[in-house]
Amino acid sequence: MKQEQIQVDYSPSITSYLTECRNEKGYSIQDVATHLRISSHYIEAIENNDGPRLPERVYVLGFVRSYAKFLGIDPEYCVRRFKEEILQEEAAAPLFFPTPLSSETAPSKKILLLSSVGLMVIFAIGYGIKQWSSTSQPIDHAIAEVSKPVMSNIQSATLNSSPQDSTAKEGNPETQEEDEDSNQENLEQTAAESTSTQELPQPSPTILAENRELNLAFSQPSWIEIKDPLGNIIIEKTFQAGENYTLSKSQGHTMRTGNAGGINVKIGAKPAQPLGKTGEVLSNLSLDAEALSAYLKQH
């Protein structure tokens, strides 16, 4: 009777692996906490797999990634193992890609080129028609608006002229020519005054406030995660002291951070202000210009 051989994985757990790497480097837990600006009890909880003391998933993964970088080991490898061993998350399923088409069934380069050119021509024609239709209507409307006061002034001037003046003008040709020149000058002046009164629309103060630039200046190592209005992560990174990050449009964005005291916030032309205290954790912080300004005033 054959006995089945059981393979045993003797590799240390990810928490033990991090502890061994730290000891090999000669660092204490307090050394790591001081350098990364992370509370020492979080480092202890990670190494001891102390679930109740661990922060939220997004923060603990950021701490593990920063810890691995500090020790000089692969951060993605450590994060993957931490997800599988500690957070009990299954590894991502392998992706299977379809086999490429053979040269006999795949379209030729010439066909692809002609198709691309055709699509570009169709797009250009559609764009031109759209631009023409959008610009022709405002011009016609503006001409109609300008012509209304001009015609009303002409009608009022005609009604105000007396029959006696008309008779006198008919009897004197020179006077009639002078009056015609004078009427022409009055019409031109009226048209110029009518067109000059058309004022351009001014931009709304609300739009200007929403488009103010947001700048984050880091004075200490700080981990941040910023999401767009749809909830998509646009950046997730641990910034070092002296680095900066600029967000041109912050309307509807939110941010998480593990060290608010290491971030100085500048909204538009306003002077920079610290976001919070060293080691302070913030979640779902609105980056709207008005909401963020109100938060900074309260803190």
pTM above 0.85, yes or no: no
> How far apart are the C-alpha atoms of 55 and 257, rounded to whole Å?
12
Phi and psi angles of residue 248, each rounded to the nearest 5 degrees, phi first: -70, -35
> How far apart are the C-alpha atoms of 112 and 32, rounded to whole Å?
56
Run means of pLDDT, 10 residues per run, the chain, 299 residues: 42 89 94 93 90 88 94 95 85 53 64 89 88 65 54 53 46 53 61 51 47 87 94 94 90 91 91 91 90 88
> How far apart are the C-alpha atoms of 20 and 17, rounded to whole Å?
5
pLDDT of residue 110: 82
Q: What is the widest separation between alpha-carbon atoms in the chain? A: 140
- How many CB atoms sit inside 10 A of residue 194's CB? 17
Q: How far apart are the first and last CA of the chain?
A: 75
Phi and psi angles of residue 197, each rounded to the nearest 5 degrees, phi first: -80, -10
> How far apart are the C-alpha atoms of 63 and 69, rounded to whole Å?
10
Phi and psi angles of residue 144, each rounded to the nearest 5 degrees, phi first: -65, -40
Residue type, position 169, single letter: K
For residues 59, 65, 66, 67, the Cα torsion angle rounded to the nearest 10 degrees is 100
**Buried-exposed string 65-99: b where 16+ CB fall within 10 A, e elsewhere:** bbbbebbeeebeebbebbbeebeeeeeeeeeeeee
| Strand-pair partners of 224 | 237, 257
pLDDT of residue 235: 94
> How far apart are the C-alpha atoms of 1 and 3, rounded to whole Å?
7
Is-contact 43 30, C-beta < 8 A?
Answer: no
Domains assigned to the chain: 14-85 (1.10.260.40), 207-298 (no CATH)
- Closest by alpha carbon to 58, among 221, 218, 224, 217? 224
pLDDT of residue 10: 46
* CA atoms within 13 Å, Cβ hemisphere of 42: 21
pLDDT of residue 3: 42
How far from chain centre, in Å, is Cα 77? 30
Contacts for 146 with CB less than 8 Å, ≥ 6 apart: 191, 194, 195, 198
**What percent of the chain is helix, strand and coil (3-state, nearest 5)?**
55, 15, 35
